[in-house]
Amino acid sequence: MAIAKAERLMNLALCLLGTRRPLSKRELRGSIEAYLEAGSDDSFNRMFERDKDDLRELGLVIETVENLDGEPGYLARRDSNRLPPVTLDAEEAAALGLAAKVWQQARLAGAASGALQKLRAAGLPEEVDPYEPHSALEPRIPVREAAFEPLMLACRDRRPVVFDYRKATAARPEQRHVEPWALECWRGHWYLAGWDRDRGAERVFRLSRITGKVRSRAGKFTVAVPDVVTVRETVAGWAGEIADRSALIKLRAGAGYPLRAKATSVRERGDGWDELEIPYGHGMDAWLVEFGPDVVVLEPAELRADVVERLRAVAKG
């Protein structure tokens, strides 16, 4: 959510939690600066009702009672909004410690460190030190793409974005209008799943192919976010890892090691090329194009045609 709204919600929550008696809307309006600047009574009433609903959706228990003047009053009792004590065993604490070590970028490192300090104060076992320099596990998730941070915030805030994206088979990037759903790292690369408004369909984008800045757009999502977003399954399909068929390709000797790793059989031809049989599924043509002149598809004919078509599109671009 926008910083101004987050601040307004926080101020309202503090007012409701800090009072010993119900506060009327008039009193709340006089206590919160953003409400004073709301303009008309109708604008304030709409803003207040939205904010109250948002806080309840976030889990704050807000009571509505009649105060002495006969008008509704609001308060959030502390005993109704108190979380139970945090209890962690050694395995749970170790898992949280390892998760915190994953993030090394400045924006996320501070939040992870602060969270661990709070957990220690709440009873994190002392024998589990997530910052132990001799720990055998040192997980890392690289985040080199400048697009990661704005997309992470857009996913969190449910905010549409616009960016320029260059497909593997395209010579120039194209503008995409996307409702971002989720980010996921798979085999060292970050991917974004979301709704492509221009194409009217779900799409997955590799962050390293986003060029220029990611720009936010006003407005709400037009499509509901799925309960389960299958980023890895989609990318695996691109790479031919969800395989239901087999292809025969010719590969230049000494090239295409990722293809060799997938091959079920390899035969040396003796002319500087090898013949490989590889399992594949949807999207294999896009992957093969990335190897350029080092790959020739022998069969099936439909896969060969798809690869040739993609190469011609690149050449025309």
Q: Tell me the pLDDT tens digit for each residue of 31-80.
A: 888 888 887 888 888 999 999 988 988 888 999 887 657 788 898 988 88
Considering the domain architecture, whether residues 260 and 279 belong to the same structural domain is answered as: yes
Considering the domain architecture, whether residues 54 and 106 belong to the same structural domain is answered as: no
| Residue 275, pLDDT score | 94
Task: Quickly list H helices, 58-160.
Answer: 90-102, 106-121, 148-157
Considering the domain architecture, whether residues 298 and 261 belong to the same structural domain is answered as: yes
| Residue 298, pLDDT score | 94
Q: How confident is the model at residue 132 (pLDDT cuts 50, 70, 90)?
A: low
CA distance 59 to 79: 14
**Residue 140 burial (C-beta neighbours within 10 Å; 0-12, 13-18, 19+):** exposed
Last residue in a domain, options 93, 108, 140: 140
Question: 86 forms bridges with which residues in the sheet?
Answer: none
CATH code of the domain in which 36 resides: 1.10.10.10
Residue 184 domain flag: yes
Is the pLDDT higher at 36 or at 233? 36
For residue 314, pLDDT over 80 is answered with: no
Residue 142 near residue 187 (C-beta atoms within 8 A): no
Is the pLDDT higher at 93 or at 154? 154
For residue 133, pLDDT over 50 is answered with: no
- pLDDT for 72-114, tens place per residue? 889 898 888 876 776 767 777 677 666 666 655 545 556 666 6
For residue 171, pLDDT over 80 is answered with: no
Q: How confident is the model at residue 122 (pLDDT cuts 50, 70, 90)?
A: low
What mean pLDDT, rounded, does the chain reach? 80
CA distance 290 to 260: 15
Mean predicted confidence (pLDDT) in 240-265 = 83
Considering the domain architecture, whether residues 45 and 103 belong to the same structural domain is answered as: no
Question: 246 forms bridges with which residues in the sheet?
Answer: 279
| Residue 277, pLDDT score | 93
| Residue 126, pLDDT score | 52
Mean predicted confidence (pLDDT) in 193-201 = 91
Considering the domain architecture, whether residues 299 and 249 belong to the same structural domain is answered as: yes
| Residue 197, pLDDT score | 94
Residue 45 domain flag: yes
For residue 153, pLDDT over 80 is answered with: yes
| Residue 177, pLDDT score | 96
For residue 127, pLDDT over 70 is answered with: no
**Could you tell me the CA-to-CA distances from 264 to 22, 233, 247, 260 in Å, in that order?**
72, 22, 10, 9
| Residue 1, pLDDT score | 44
For residue 8, pLDDT over 60 is answered with: yes
**pTM metric for this prediction:** 0.46
Tokens of 64: 């509505």
For residue 310, pLDDT over 90 is answered with: no
Q: What is the number of structural domains in the chain?
A: 4
Pairing verdict, β 189-196 and 174-186: antiparallel
For residue 237, pLDDT over 80 is answered with: no
Residue 34 domain flag: yes
Residue 237 domain flag: no
4-13, 106-115, 195-204: range with highest mean pLDDT: 195-204
CATH code of the domain in which 152 resides: 2.30.30
Which structural domain, as residue segments, surrounds residue 16? 3-80
Last residue in a domain, options 98, 121, 140: 140
In the numeric block, the tokens 């008008």 are attached to 71
Residue 275 near residue 269 (C-beta atoms within 8 A): yes
Length of the chain: 317
Neighbours of 132 (CB within 10 A): 11
CA distance 317 to 313: 6
Mean predicted confidence (pLDDT) in 163-177 = 84
| Residue 106, pLDDT score | 45
